[in-house]
Amino acid sequence: MRLSYSDASDAKFQSGEAAVIVQRVRERRAPRPLQPLDLTLLHSPNVADGWNHFLGAIRSKTSLPDDIREIAICRVAVINEAWYEWGHHAPLAKAGGVSEEGLRVLGDREAKGGEGVLNERQMATVRYTDEMTRDVRVSEGAFEGLRLVFSEQEVVEITATVAAYNCVSRFLVALDVGERNSTKGPEP
């Protein structure tokens, strides 16, 4: 942790716009408490508010199935070594239908052994996410692989998810939110 976590019970968060922002973040997180990411973002309440709204839409207002959304998020986390992010999203990928063997593939920086373990849609998501995260520019092959198995709406939503979680991972790693980002890999 490079910055202290904000104390949401601090007087500055008990009235006015800051209180409204904290409440919106709490509502999105419910039934869980505020997370270290939230408590870091609250150093700038307006940034926390925008972040909460944007990431809330990415997480819960797209048409993507849980496995696809979480595969994209997990691959971003692995490539960017955002282990705090991995720790939160690998269980969600598993709950969304990704097998233990599939999680091992996702946790490998090169996603070795994915063919036959992950289905065609899942592998297309891995390839696209990897290229978008590593190179920003996506090859025609990776794009066409995605487009063959997803609708245009889903392509936009996968792209937005990858972009958003690249933002999240860079914030987490730069500020070492969660104090796990300097470790050497995903925990099982």
Q: What are the tens digits of pLDDT across the range 47-87?
A: 999 999 999 999 999 999 999 999 999 999 999 999 999 99
- Distance CA(21)–CA(72), nearest Å, equals 28
Strand-pairing partners, residue 113, are none
CB atoms within 10 A of CB 152: 8
What is the token pair recorded at 130? 């990897």
Section 31-46 average pLDDT:
97
Pick the CATH number of 66-175 from 1.20.1290.10, 1.10.1050.10, 3.30.300.180, 1.10.357.10: 1.20.1290.10
So what's the pLDDT on residue 187? 63
**Within a 13 Å sphere around the CA of 100, how many CA atoms are in the beta-carbon half?**
1
Q: What are the tens digits of pLDDT across the range 128-148?
A: 999 999 999 999 999 999 999
- Distance CA(142)–CA(172), nearest Å, equals 27
Q: Does residue 188 carry a pLDDT above 70?
A: no
What is the token pair recorded at 170? 């860079």
Strand-pairing partners, residue 115, are 118
Section 44-48 average pLDDT:
97
- Distance CA(75)–CA(68), nearest Å, equals 11
- Distance CA(86)–CA(148), nearest Å, equals 28
The per-type count for the chain, helices as H runs and strands as E runs, is 9, 0
Average pLDDT of the chain? 95
Please check whether residue 172 is in contact with residue 81, taking contact to mean a CB–CB distance below 8 angstroms: no
So what's the pLDDT on residue 4? 95
Q: Does residue 113 carry a pLDDT above 80?
A: yes
Section 96-114 average pLDDT:
96
Domain map of the chain by residue range? 11-60, 66-175
Section 15-38 average pLDDT:
96
